[in-house]
Structure formats: C-alpha cells, structure tokens
Amino acid sequence: MKSKSALENYLFVLPAVLIFSIFYIYPFYKVFTLSLCQWDGIAHFNFTKNFVGFRNFKELLLEDKIWWQAMGQAGYITLIALTFQNALALALAWACDRDIKGGNIYRVIFYLPPVLSEVVVGLVWRWIYDGNYGLLNYWLQNIGLAHLVRDWLSDPKTALICVAVIHCWKGFGWGFIIFLAGLQTIPRQLYEAARVDGANSWQTFKKLTVPLMVPVFILVSILTILGTMQVFVLILSMTGGGPGYHTEVPVTRILASMVGSSRFGYACSQGIIFGAILLIISFIQIRLSKYMRQE
C-alpha cells in the first residue's frame, strides 16, 4: 500500500526529473570532467591526454587575483540589489496592494524595464551616462551641481555603482511582481481583524504582513543573489569590464577564459567554483530562514 502510494508520487516528479537529467545533469557532468583538463575547445579532445587533475582549481583559488576582484565587484552589485532594489520593489508592491487609483496601470508600467530589450536599455542608459553629451551631466549642470559632472562609466570610482543602478532599475520589476503576488495571497480577513483591534499601518505591517511574507522574502533574496551575481550582458554593453578591471564580474572572466584565451578547461573550473560559492550562500540563507521561522 505504502510502496504503491510512493510509486504514484514518483510519477508526479518523473517528467521534471527526466528532462532535467538529460538537459542539465549530463552537460554538468561534462563540464565537470572538462574542468579537470586543459583544452582549447577546438582540438580533438582526449580525456587522458588532456587531463591535468586539479591544477585548474589550484590556479584559480591561489593565483587568479583578478577572479577574486571580479567576485568582489559582483558581490558589491549584489549587495546594492539586495537592499536598494528589493526595498524599492517591496515599497512599490505594498503601495499597489492597497486599493489605489490606477493600480493596474502602475503594475504594467513597473514591469516595463525587465521587458525592454538589452539593446534599448544599453542605448538609453549609455546616453544618460555619457560623459560628453549625456542626460545626467546635462541635468546636473542645469541645476547647479556642475562640479559633480564626470565620466560616469569611465571613472573607476563610479563605474561600478552606475552599472549597479541600471541593474536595479531593470530588476525591480521582478521583485515587484513576486512581492505583489505574495501580498495579495494574504487573506483580507486578517487585515480587517487587525484594524478592528486598533492597529495602525506600521504595526499591521510589522506584526502581520512581515511574518507571513518571510518565505517570499527569502525566495526573492535568493533569486536576487543568483540573478545579480550572474550579471554580464549589462557589463559587456556598458563598460566591457573596464576601465581596467574595475567592472569585471565572474561571468565576464569565464567568457574571457573560454573565448579570449581559449582555455576551455579553466573556464569550466571557474564555472564550477562560482556555482559552488553560490550554492553555499543560498544554503546558508535557507538554513537561516528555517532558523528564523522556528523562533
């Protein structure tokens, strides 16, 4: 009886597991074996001939300073995204959750940035940040802050933050939708009950909304970390990783190894270490959330 029930339950996950094993597990296995080899991606590949053991990993962990600089820079953008971007998304979702006039229009508008193609985003924001004829500098000069005018994307002090701002702008739409979905599945009765009990908005938010939204917060924060650490199309179109190495991120480094230096095996080892780090961070977050929920 029990085994029949378990078998039935397996059927639920079977299609997912099947597709997943073919299209993810196999390439992952390949990437893992490649990370133990030295290969340029073109020549005939022979595992025994190209095998170099853990040398790629050793080089990556001990000698590649630029890799760790890139990780740090991606981490910096992620931190900004976690705080600024998600706070904005939450505030907007909360504002739209209340019965607000034109709430539907706002919902559509806030979803526009993620929908816009990379090409348009690149062109518009480069125009905004341009050092010579950009909108930002133009506007700063007109309101009397001319001393702040600078080469936003070429100045090592501001390049990374500017890219982070674009990323947050493009990304808050996702957090917004997920938060909104989360807020709207909280039964209205609970809010009614709270109002009857005399709680004001802040108290309602703190004692009622937040605890019910914790799993959604965790979800969004994990997704933010994963999505932001993997940023690269934006970097390539805005700064190309420059000036110097100031806006390099892990994925641009992997691409540089894969195509620029034709070190496919090394690129695979970078990918694996990168994945391992993300995995550890996510599991810490999940553990933390479980711990917090038990309190």
State the nearest-atom distance from the C-beta of 127 to other proteins, in Å.
8
Using CA of residue 139, residue 145, residue 147, residue 153, what is the dihedral sign? Answer: negative
State the nearest-atom distance from the C-beta of 144 to other proteins, in Å.
20
Distance, in Å, from the CA atom of 81 to the CA atom of 95, rounded to the nearest integer, reads 20
Interaction between residue 261 and other proteins (CB under 8 A): yes
Distance, in Å, from the CA atom of 27 to the CA atom of 149, rounded to the nearest integer, reads 48
**Closest Cα to residue 154, out of 67, 66, 240?**
240
**For every residue of 71-140, which 3-state class applies, written as one string?**
HHHHHHHHHHHHHHHHHHHHHHHHHHHCCCCCHHHHHHHHCHHHHCCHHHHHHHHHHHHCCCCCHHHHHH
From the list 76-84, 140-148, 203-211, 249-257, the region that binds other proteins by CB under 8 A is 249-257
State the nearest-atom distance from the C-beta of 238 to other proteins, in Å.
7
With CB under 8 A, what is the number of residues at the site for other proteins? 110
Distance, in Å, from the CA atom of 278 to the CA atom of 78, rounded to the nearest integer, reads 12
State the nearest-atom distance from the C-beta of 277 to other proteins, in Å.
9
Among 4, 62, 133, 294, binds other proteins (CB under 8 A): 133
CA-based radius of gyration for the chain = 24
Footprint (CB under 8 A) of other proteins, residues 43-62: 43-45
Alpha helices for the chain (secondary structure H): 2-20, 26-35, 47-50, 55-58, 65-80, 86-97, 103-110, 112-115, 118-129, 135-142, 159-184, 188-196, 201-203, 210-229, 233-238, 250-255, 264-294
Footprint (CB under 8 A) of other proteins, residues 151-190: 151, 153-156, 159, 169, 174, 177-178, 180-181, 184-189
State the nearest-atom distance from the C-beta of 99 to other proteins, in Å.
10
User: Residue for token digits 């890219």?
Assistant: 163
Among 6, 62, 143, 196, binds other proteins (CB under 8 A): 6
Distance, in Å, from the CA atom of 211 to the CA atom of 182, rounded to the nearest integer, reads 12
Interaction between residue 278 and other proteins (CB under 8 A): yes
Judged by beta carbon, residue 167 or residue 264, the one nearer other proteins is 264
Interaction between residue 143 and other proteins (CB under 8 A): no
Footprint (CB under 8 A) of other proteins, residues 194-223: 212, 215-216, 219, 223
State the nearest-atom distance from the C-beta of 251 to other proteins, in Å.
6
Using CA of residue 105, residue 106, residue 111, residue 112, what is the dihedral sign? Answer: positive
Among 15, 53, 144, 198, binds other proteins (CB under 8 A): 15
State the nearest-atom distance from the C-beta of 79 to other proteins, in Å.
18
Footprint (CB under 8 A) of other proteins, residues 69-128: 88, 91-92, 95-96, 100-101, 104, 106-117, 119-121, 124, 126
Among 1, 4, 12, 62, binds other proteins (CB under 8 A): 12
